[in-house]
Amino acid sequence: MIYLFILIGFILLMKGADYLIDGGVKIATIFGVSPLFIGLSIAAIGTSAPEAAVSINAAVIAHSTISFGNILGSNIANIGLVVGLSALLYTLSGRLSTIKNELPYSLFITFILLLLVRDDWFGNNILVLSRIDGGVLIIFFFIYLVYLYRMAISDRKKLLLDRGLSSIKHSKKELLKASCLTIGGIIGVVFGAKLVVDNAINLAQSWGVSEIMISVTIIALGTSLPEMATSITAVRKGRCDIAIGNVVGSNIFNILFVLGITSLIRPIQFSLVAFVDLIVVISITVLILIFIFTSRIISKKEGGVLLLFYLAYIVFVILRR
* In contact, 242 and 229? CB cutoff 8 Å: no
Is residue 196 very low, low, confident or very high in pLDDT (cuts 50, 70, 90)? confident
What is the domain range of residue 40? 2-320
Instruction: Tell me the average pLDDT of the chain.
Output: 84
CATH number at residue 101: 1.20.1420.30
The pLDDT of residue 121 is above 60: no
| Phi, psi torsion values for 164, nearest 5 degrees | 65, 35
First to last CA, the chain: 33
* In contact, 313 and 283? CB cutoff 8 Å: no
State the total domains in the chain. 1
Interatomic CA distance for residues 142 and 147, integer angstroms: 9
38-53 confidence digits (pLDDT tens): 888 888 888 887 778 7
Letter string b/e over residues 113-148, b meaning 16 or more CB atoms within 10 A of that residue's CB: beebbebeeeeeeebbbbeebbebbbebbeebeeeb
* In contact, 252 and 51? CB cutoff 8 Å: no
The pLDDT of residue 99 is above 70: no
Asked which of 21-25, 69-73, 133-137 is least confident by mean pLDDT, the reply is: 69-73
pLDDT of residue 166: 61
pLDDT of residue 136: 96
Question: What Rg value do the Cα atoms of the chain yield, rounded?
Answer: 19
pLDDT of residue 108: 95
The pLDDT of residue 210 is above 90: no
pLDDT of residue 78: 92
pLDDT of residue 105: 92
The pLDDT of residue 67 is above 90: no
CA 301 vs. chain centroid, Å, equals 22
| Phi, psi torsion values for 125, nearest 5 degrees | -90, 20
The pLDDT of residue 300 is above 60: yes
191 CB-contact burial (10 Å; exposed 0-12 / middle 13-18 / buried 19+): middle
Neighbours of 95 (CB within 10 A): 16
Q: Regarding predicted confidence, which is higher, 165 or 225?
A: 225
Percentage of the chain lying above the pLDDT 70 cut = 86
Q: Regarding predicted confidence, which is higher, 21 or 213?
A: 21
